[in-house]
Amino acid sequence: MNLPVRSCLFLAPFLLLLHGCGGVVETVEVQGFRAATSQDLAPAPTTDEPTEPAVTFDQDVYPILVRMSCTVQVCHSTQFPKGNLDLSETSVAYTNIVIDKAAKPTTQSGDYRVNRAQPEQSLILTATLSGSTSGHAAVQSWQVDDADYKTILQWLSTGLSRF
């Protein structure tokens, strides 16, 4: 008696036991029932291509802001943070940069803290670029080929992941 494969699902563990993992079962007979299939039971092949680790705000971006002294009290970590951008702790900083409705245009030129359409135009990147006139002369500035700039740009370009 031939049974369609979908009718033999209850036999699947028994079939695996008989033929092991990774093989192709063509015809199996169990207690007078015969099932035919050509389904490969092997796991899907994996690629050996390395993937870039995900850039997250908590693990990658916020430590850059701390290292650049953006989170100190004279800048963005007081009762009245400059530019109304409080970066005093990770969750507050993420909310103020990415989610907060006040993070609409924050300068006269219309720059955004996060510009999803053009990540390289995000204020979080442009404010501290070398030669910027945004008033960040006191902090370390960067060039577009600096590792920190590239990390934040990757975070902006790949979905703004928090964790």
- What pLDDT was estimated at residue 6? 45
Beta bridge partners of 3: 35
CB 144 within 8 A of CB 130: no
- What's the confidence (pLDDT) of residue 19? 43
The pTM score is 0.65
User: Above 70 in pLDDT, residue 46?
Assistant: no
Residue 142 backbone dihedrals phi, psi, to 5 degrees: -135, 165
- Per-residue pLDDT tens over the stretch 56-108: 999 999 999 999 989 988 889 888 888 888 999 999 999 999 987 665 555 55
Question: Using one digit for the tens of pLDDT, what is the confidence trace for 125-161?
Answer: 988 887 776 767 566 788 999 999 999 999 999 999 9
Residues 163, 155: Cα–Cα separation, whole Å = 11
SS3 of residue 18 by DSSP:
helix
Whether the per-residue pLDDT at 55 is higher than 60: the answer is yes
Q: 35-41: which pairs have CB atoms within 8 A and are 24 or more residues apart? A: 35/2, 35/3, 35/4, 35/5, 35/7, 35/8, 35/11, 36/2, 36/5, 37/5, 37/8, 39/5, 41/16
- CA dist., res. 85 & res. 33, Å (int): 71
Rg from Cα positions in the chain: 28
